[in-house]
Amino acid sequence: MVTSRTLDAMAGASLFLKCENLQRGGAFKFRGAYTALSRLPEPQRAAGVLAFSSGNHAQAVALAARELGTSATIVMPLDAPASKVAATRGYGAEIVTYDRYAVDREELAATIAAERGLTVIPPYDHPDVLAGQGTATLELIEEAGELDALFVCLGGGGLLSGAILAARATSPGVRIHGVEPAAGDDGLRSWRAGEIVHIDVPRTIADGAQTQHLGRYPFAIIREGVDEILTVDDEALVDCMRLLASRLKLVVEPTGCLALAGALSRRESLAGQRVGVIVSGGNVDLDRFAALVG
Ligand SMILES: *Cc1c(COP(=O)(O)O)cnc(C)c1O
């Protein structure tokens, strides 16, 4: 957990940052992947796992598989960033590439999994995955103590739903805020509508939250458990990337800044409060980082 007087002065509140950019694999995703893999029955785990992702979930599943002594197959688009492909391969995973304009990845993943007898590990729509993601909030509250408010980014909803379960059990009075990119406010719309709303792939620099809809398991928890869903624009994310790098010496990817940007946008209502912020990840190529903050 990281705190900063500069940040507290800016926010007018005491902020407690859970820095998952410093987590193994560079994002909180390792928590869910490891939890899900470790709960598989031994023969099933030994047969190997499969994930389809071009992002942090792929690295997390590859790393968790290596830790638990099994094999991971990762289905990635041909045009996935070279650094992500290299990192995933570096953790020992087998990479299967596909043309994202010609092939449906879920079908391809299901076919490969069936042929090879692998278990698919989804990025958020799974009880063990979201339970694992919840440990980030559990640790934050154990270290910071009771909180008045908690800000968590929102993509498919694994991190937020896990946070709700952990926070409600350990810091019952905390107000929980989910934060999405303004261009992809499907979570807010779903929450208001009381059912999962689907959208086109949103145009945002927050690539970890470019999901088109919430997962069913996360939504069931978010629907009842969240106090507010708010959105922030890309400019606010870049401002936070700059702030975290220059003042706290933290390299955070755009998606990882959603929660902090959300908290800073709610300054007035947070005055004097104890506020938890999940900084969700730090996997961003340095060239891209420089281009964004430059
Ligand atoms: C996956 C991811 C998210 C979104 O998490 P969900 O569980 O899909 O809501 C946010 N930030 C980072 C860095 C991620 O990798």
Residue-wise pLDDT for 254-265, tens only, equals 999 999 999 999
The closest residue, in CA terms, to atom 5 on ligand 1 is 155
Burial of 206 (0-12, 13-18, 19+ CB in 10 A): buried
pTM of the model: 0.96
pLDDT at position 106, please?
A: 83
Q: What is the pLDDT of residue 17?
A: 98
pLDDT level of residue 100 (50, 70, 90 thresholds): confident
Mean pLDDT over residues 54-70, rounded? 94
| Mean pLDDT, range 176-189, rounded to an integer | 97
Identify the structural domains of the chain with CATH numbers, from first to last.
2-27+127-293 (3.40.50.1100), 28-120 (3.40.50.1100)
Task: Reply yes or no on whether 184 is catalytic.
Answer: yes
* Tokens representing residue 141 in the block: 């509250």
- Picking from 47-56, 78-87, 192-201, 214-223, which range would have the lowest pLDDT averaged per residue? 78-87
Q: Is the CB of 178 under 6 A from ligand 1?
A: no
> Mean pLDDT throughout 210-228?
96
Residues 87-104, mean pLDDT to the nearest whole number: 90
Instruction: For ligand 1, say whether the CB of 72 is within 6 Å of any of its atoms.
Output: no
What is the tens place of the pLDDT at every residue in 163-180?
Answer: 999 999 999 999 999 999
Q: Report how far residue 221's alpha carbon sits from residue 214's, in angstroms, rounded to the nearest whole number.
A: 11
Ligand 1 within 6 A of CB of 253: yes
Confidence (pLDDT) at 104: 85
- 216-225 vs 186-193: helix axis angle to the nearest 10? 70
pLDDT at 293: 96
Spatial distance between the Cα atoms of 249 and 56, rounded to a whole number of angstroms: 21
With 90 as the cut, is the pLDDT of residue 47 above it?
Answer: yes
pLDDT band at residue 101 under the 50/70/90 scheme = confident
Q: What is the mean pLDDT of the chain?
A: 95
Centroid of chain to Cα 228: 18
Distance of CA 199 from the midpoint of ligand 1 (Å): 17
Residue whose CB lies within 8 A of the most ligand 1 atoms, among 17, 23, 28, for a mutation test: 28
- Measured by CA distance, the residue closest to atom 7 of ligand 1 is 158
| pLDDT exceeds cutoff 80 at 54 | no
Q: What is the pLDDT of residues 121-167, one digit of tens each?
A: 999 999 999 999 999 999 999 999 999 999 999 999 999 999 999 99
Is the Cβ atom of 134 under 6 angstroms away from ligand 1?
no
Is 29 annotated in the active site?
yes
The yes-or-no verdict on residue 102 having pLDDT over 90 is: no
For residues 281 and 158, is the Cβ–Cβ distance under 8 A?
no
Q: Is the CB of 156 under 6 A from ligand 1?
A: yes
Question: What is the rounded average pLDDT of the residues 208-232?
Answer: 96
Average pLDDT over residues 211-218: 95
The pLDDT > 90 percentage for the chain reads 89
Per mean pLDDT, which range of 69-83, 113-127, 165-179 is the poorest? Answer: 69-83
Asked if 107 is an active-site residue, the reply is: no
* Residue 234 beta carbon below 6 angstroms from any ligand 1 atom: no
* pLDDT score at 142: 97
